[in-house]
Structure 1
Amino acid sequence: MSSGTDYEDRFRRVYASNFHPLLAYALRRAEQPEDAADVVAETFLVAWRRGHGMPADAEVRLWLYGVARRVLANHHRTGLRRERLGERLRQRIRGAVTADPGSEVPERLAVQAALARLSELDREVLTLTVWEGLEPREVAGVLGVSPAVVRTRLSRARARLRDLVGDDLAPPGHVLGVVTAPAPKEGR
């Protein structure tokens, strides 16, 4: 039991005498103070895990600098990977973002106002079906209702929207016509 206590006592001494020099080392090399704190914490975690392999007290600081150097290198690599991933995601999002169909029509304010007058569930059923391209069974899964409820709500929402915006606002194939068209029969 005393070996565990000796191990903990040694670690405490190593930590107390090396924390500030390691923090200063990390602060000079990390972009953010929070990153430096993470590097020091990770360095001492490695020291704790490898405590029995730590060199003698005269060499321990140099060993800790070496550990901190590797932790910093990993931190920088992780940061670069995160930046590259972020850039790839931003490019994909830019490529995947399509214009809101309601914004492509001159009557978009009328459509938005009409949509706002629908109940929240009817509006969600309609937009998930039309703008997101989901089938009624898929919409049912998203909303946690039965497909029959979705089909009924969709039919009513389209009819109500047609009443609110008028039947003759859109030529065939126009977004308004698609939004207000009767629901197609879903394949079983």
Structure 2
Amino acid sequence: MCKKVNTKVKGVYEINFSSKTTKANAYITGLGNTRRIVIADNLLENFTVDEAEVVFAHELGHHIHRDILKLIFWSGLMCLGGFYFMSIILEKVSLYFRYGISDISNFPILALSMSILLFLFGLPFNFYSRKREKVADYFALKITKKTDAFITSMAKFTNRDLADAHPHPFIEFLLYTHPSIGKRINYAQEFKKKIELEKQEE
């Protein structure tokens, strides 16, 4: 598959998840020439070959689109922004209460402000992450054309991970780094219809 899309990874590795959890997972890790795709043994043992292929293609999509670098970049911006706003908050609080910025009394304010800022900055980060996941899904569907395997793999992820396939949209907006399983399945079904229409027109 890597040759098909004119790319390469350092390797594909299996990781032992079964000794600790029933969850199935796969991910890409590393930068540059060290990029590699890791697949959980639970996935290899309980998913069909076609299902494992679309999961691999999804991770390969992240590799092709350099999503790790993009997410590192946005995480760095979030950290810089967070430190900047926390320094302003601590400075204002120190002036108000008339004690030094390094005083231990600032710790509760530091912890509270950090929690609030992480939550607020997490909203655009999660939104961006969901967009990248959708792009990787599209890549997997386009390169494999195995929409049924994609749909059944999503259903298996739901069952094995005890995930909510249809969370409330507001909860998804606040907390989810991936589109909900329900949305991903719907997207695959739409892609399948598109392929069928294209075949009819040929």
TM over 0.5: no
Structure with the higher fraction of residues in strand conformation? 2
Structure with the higher fraction of residues in helix conformation? 1
Instruction: Report the structure number with the largest CA radius of gyration.
Output: 1
* TM-score of the two chains, using structure 2 as the length reference: 0.27
Q: Which fold has the larger relative contact order, with Cα–Cα distance below 8 Å and residues 6 or more apart in sequence?
A: 2
* TM-score of the two chains, using structure 1 as the length reference: 0.29
